[in-house]
Chains A and B, each alone.
Chain A
Amino acid sequence: MTTTPDVQSQGNAQSPDSENLVEVKDLKMYFPVSSGLLFQRTVANIKAVDGVTFNIKRGETLGLVGESGCGKTTTGRCILQLYNPTEGSITFDGKEMVGLGSRQLRAMRREMQVIFQDPYSSLNPRMTAGNIIGEPLVVHGLVDSKAEYKERVADLLQNVGLNPYMADRFPHEFSGGQRQRIGVARALSVSPKFIVADEPVSALDVSIQAQIVNLLEDLQDEFNLTYLFIAHDLSVVRHISDRVGVMYLGHIVEMADRNEIYVNPSHPYTKALLSAVPIPDPVIDAQRERVLLTGEVPSPLNPPSGCVFHPRCPIATDDCAQVTPELREVETGHWSACIRADGYGAY
């Protein structure tokens, strides 16, 4: 098969000015299941993320989609070092992060922030909006005086489309969309380079979703941010992402440019996901071809052999239960992990 020259496989020397901001290599995150009352021993592993490799370029938005339990959130949290990965390497700006001590990590965390899904549980109800946004400034020692602190908080509120006088209000006084804006302002407060947005619009009404998506896009232009955008809504992901990765049961099964993956999906799971998205037009929706998947996602405790998707796959062959397909480039910039994909080659 054909592979374009691969920078990383030629050595680990990554300069901080390489075009990739984040490089994830063969990431595995297993959560142990233990049993026994006194002598706890590990009886099994939940393979939440099982060998994932990808890069995020500077200034781009990488979308990660998949059903619940596919490991997309775990991947995001591993990059932020909120979990200690079982295996693999994660570099940020050329620096390896796995195995760093907490002090070194804290310095790194100034560069990377997160926006959570649920704007209700991710804000401390006893803190004012101003303090929620300002706390990171104090923790990282980014302001010298009270006046500067206030000015910075007011600026941040304005950046996300809220009024500075709202700094004294508590979270319950805001609507869902406004709370999510506070979450965005908190992430921006330390001037990060990279933001993991974990389902930032899923809990919001459609009319408000579009407001937040536009806000995220504006902020990206203004502050030159790089996003990892995790979501299960494929239409939103296509809108905001430059490239899209599709995850299934701890693996990335397909990754490509946003237009390529929607126009020319290569993996049967991607095709099924796309066809399941309803189109708000009864005439067009009725004409679409539907790939209805049977069954449900298997348990990550005991994933199927070979290709993890083969029990639900409409085009699976006997080989699929034997061969674990790796992610290969089937077309320039288009990666797929299906042995039956066009251009996949021999396995």
Chain B
Amino acid sequence: MPNLLEVKDLKTYFYTYEGVVKAVDGVSYELEEGETLGLVGESGCGKSVSALSVMRLIPDPPGRIVNGEIQFEDEDILKIDMDDMRRIRGGKIAMVFQEPMTSLNPVLTVEKQLAETLELHKGMTKAEARREGEDLLARVGIPDPDKRIKQYPHQFSGGMRQRVMIAMALSCNPKLIIADEPTTALDVTIQAQILELMKSLTTEFGVALIVITHNLGVVARYADRMNIMYAGRIIERGSAREIYANPRHPYTVGLLRSVPRLDLPRRTRLDPIEGQPPDLVNLPVGCSFRARCRWAIDKCALEAPELAPIGEGHLSACWRADELGDLIKELVEAEAREYGTDIEPTPAPEPVAPQDNQVGEDG
């Protein structure tokens, strides 16, 4: 598959009174046509800013893209003028935002908002746009599209609003959809529905998808490749299977270990990543994860590791990436020694005392 998007050494800085915030500090990655990429990291790691940079939606001032190249199809997005950019935005690249509540205009009907894109990008008439809009709503699973299209956003629930956003994103047959935390504001059962919908539609139409999230679980099932970001940089990159099975950066290991998992026996204790993410204005010399890393060595304080290949399509920015497999094994064994066994037996046959803690109404 040819590359649809190539980001090279992207740097997006924000100039504030406190100093220069290096939100994205040298990020490079590529995306194939039709591929689903997961962009994972905690708040403030630059994942949203790197995606907004692709859309050139960085507020200037205070933000500025100070360096880099973003090749989309065969042009550099950072070099084209605003008119061309407008054609790409919503046309070839579409976006689904986190908050379906705030990203739809509350005073316009869904029809107006859907039709606007279609009229602008596809030159449709009002009637055509309306028919197309109804089709789109039906496709994203909204019942009674002919009635619903006349309604206002507040008449839709959160999940339905997110479906409207997806319909809008799909409306102009984009090549790429960027979804910024598309399910974070939704309930678990609705989250599953929306992700399933996005995956099936992007597969059907051959659209590439970038899913930005802070939850590793959300993208596990859907992503082909993953970028893990920390403090403005990609610190690990690889296929989803490889990253989950064989993480090669201490931060990724920490993220995976700090969430309790439903499919595994309950652990006696969670293993959080201690400390806080660094201040992006005063990034420490050396590896920015060093202060929270349990395996830091002297070298980490002196020089920041670059993203380097450690396996088939798998890159890590860690000096100890090669030893990490053994280090993880040691950690798990140490944990087992401390808590007896690492895990509780399932299903724990706890002594069942006579239960009088419930009131049976017919008791």
Contacts and interface: CB of A to CB of B under 8 A. Distances in A.
Contacts of A54: 357-358
Interface string A228-239: 000011111011
Contacts of B350: 257, 259
B245 interface: yes
Contacts of A25: 359
Interface string B265-286: 0110111111010000000000
Contacts of A297: 187
Contacts of A75: none
B259 A280 contact: yes
B246 to A, nearest CB: 12
A292 B269 contact: no
A159 interface: no
| Contact residues on B (Cβ < 8 Å of other chain), bracket | 35 or more
B122 interface: no
Interface in A36-53: 53
A2 B12 CA distance: 66
Contacts of B362: 1, 3, 326, 328
A199 B191 CA distance: 18
B187 A68 contact: yes
Interface string B321-363: 0000000000000000000000000111010101111111111
Interface residues of A, number: 74
Interface stretch (B96-104, B209-217, B312-320): B209-217
Interface string A203-221: 0011111110110010000
B86 interface: no
B133 interface: no
Nearest to B223: A282
A286 B221 contact: yes
B221 A278 contact: yes
B357 A273 contact: no
B85 interface: no
Contact of A239 (B189, B266, B273): B266
Interface string A259-284: 11011100000001111111111111
Interface of A: 1, 3-9, 19-20, 25, 53-55, 57, 67-68, 175-178, 205-211, 213-214, 217, 232-236, 238-239, 255, 257-260, 262-264, 272-286, 288, 290, 292-293, 296-297, 326-329, 332-333, 335
